Amino acid sequence: MSPAKILAVDDEADFELLLRQRFRRQIRAEEFDFRFAHHGEEALAVLAEEPDIELMLLDINMPVMDGLTLLAELRERQSDVRAIIVSAYGDMTNLRTAMNRGAFDFVTKPVDLNDLEITIRKTLEDIAKLRELDRQRAAAERARTNLSRYFSPNLVALLADRDEPLGAVRRQTVAVLFVDIVGFTRMAEHLAPEAVVTMLRQFHDYMTGQIFACGGTVEKYIGDEIFAVFGLPDASPEDAANALKCAELMIAALAEWNIERGQQGEQKLAIGIGVNYGPAVIGDVGSEHSLSFTVIGDTVNTASRMQGLTRSLGTPLVVGDTLVSAIAAAPANGAAELLGALEDQGEQALRGRTGPVRIWTRRPHGDSADAFALPD
């Protein structure tokens, strides 16, 4: 363990000798490591050369720069060094000023060296506690930053702030959205792996931004496919509307991205989006060694099948009737306009599902022509 660096700032020559004599055992044991300065300007120079000095023993009355001025300067520089004032007895006005400028404690002159050692150790303990709190804060911030790379902001806050953030496995009504790039597999065959990864990262950035903007959560990435959920951790009357808004924003974002791709001589992309609303089972799956949060059920499977249906219907968006009904029953801001942009396609058979499902598709309009699904 490194010795605690202590800077003694005092213009009295015998103060240095007094400290070296009194703390010679601690110095030999490399417990304390003293530095000395005779006024505030010298102290600033020492601190500049050795910014890891933790503690300062500071006289008030000194030439060139006094202790109170030094404290003000250190406060202005946001220095972390802690100061113990060593001042003449009865100088309460200066002591109050010193404490108001950030001094941690004080001892009076003539100095009781035992009291000084106790005060030094108490201050060093306080510094150690603050350093540990800073370390924990930095670790927590680092963990939160790492979580934000994989989870949406609402889940990051939840995971960081609760001991059991997601609770027990439960049944909950949510809106689910699947989106992917039409023809991605065929495109990937003709691109270098690095180009595929770059395109996927850009696609994920564009689409995930819209999910987060609408209060959604990315449940998982599956290659070029993104599975998003609206209504986590708690359901809201606006979940269905938020999912539909997100789909519209995705189509608009793709149109902007395609302009950029065209300017760079890259192939324009098309996407397929399936959106559904209904009950699902939410919770952790896996073993005690590795858990994964997931959302499963017929609502999810149906949304995935709707996404696949975008190819045969030649549309970027297929919406389940349950989601349309939920929006109509509890219209949110702007939701009525979104419903007006949909066309009823009646009941459609979905692969892997026994009964047909009533669906809606998006009416074509100009700013999103590039988002229309193409035959895969």
Mean pLDDT confidence for 151-169: 63
Mean per-residue pLDDT over the chain, rounded: 83
pLDDT at 154: 65
pLDDT at 375: 40
Which amino acid does the sequence have at 175? A
pLDDT at 193: 87
pLDDT at 368: 46
- 3-state SS track over the chain: CCCEEEEEECCCHHHHHHHHHHCHHHHHCCCEEEEEECCHHHHHHHHHHCCCCCEEEECCCCCCCCHHHHHHHHHHCCCCCEEEEEEECCCHHHHHHHHHCCCCEEEEECCCHHHHHHHHHHHHHHHHHHHHHHHHHHHHHHHHHHHHCCCCHHHHHHHHHCCCCCCCCEEEEEEEEEEEECCHHHHHHCCCHHHHHHHHHHHHHHHHHHHHHCCCEEEEEECCEEEEEECCCCCCCCHHHHHHHHHHHHHHHHHHHHHHHHHCCCCCCCEEEEEEEEEEEEEEEECCCCEEEEEECHHHHHHHHHHHHHHHHCCCEEEEHHHHHHHHHCCCCCHHHHHHCEEEEEEECCCCCCCCEEEEEECCCHHHHHHCCCCC
**pLDDT, tens digit, for every residue of 303-362?**
999 999 999 999 999 999 999 999 988 766 667 778 888 999 999 988 878 889 999 999
Tokens of 25: 């055992």
pTM of full prediction above 0.85: no
Q: What are φ and ψ of residue 145, in 5° steps? A: -65, -40
**pLDDT, tens digit, for every residue of 121-133?**
888 888 888 888 8
Kindly tell me if the per-residue pLDDT of 225 is higher than 80.
Answer: yes
pLDDT at 4: 86
Q: Enumerate the β-bridge partners of residue 343.
A: 361
**pLDDT, tens digit, for every residue of 331-343?**
666 677 788 889 9
pLDDT at 288: 59
Q: How confident is the model at residue 300 (pLDDT cuts 50, 70, 90)?
A: very high
Q: What are φ and ψ of residue 80, in 5° steps? A: -90, -5
Kindly tell me if the per-residue pLDDT of 106 is higher than 60.
Answer: yes
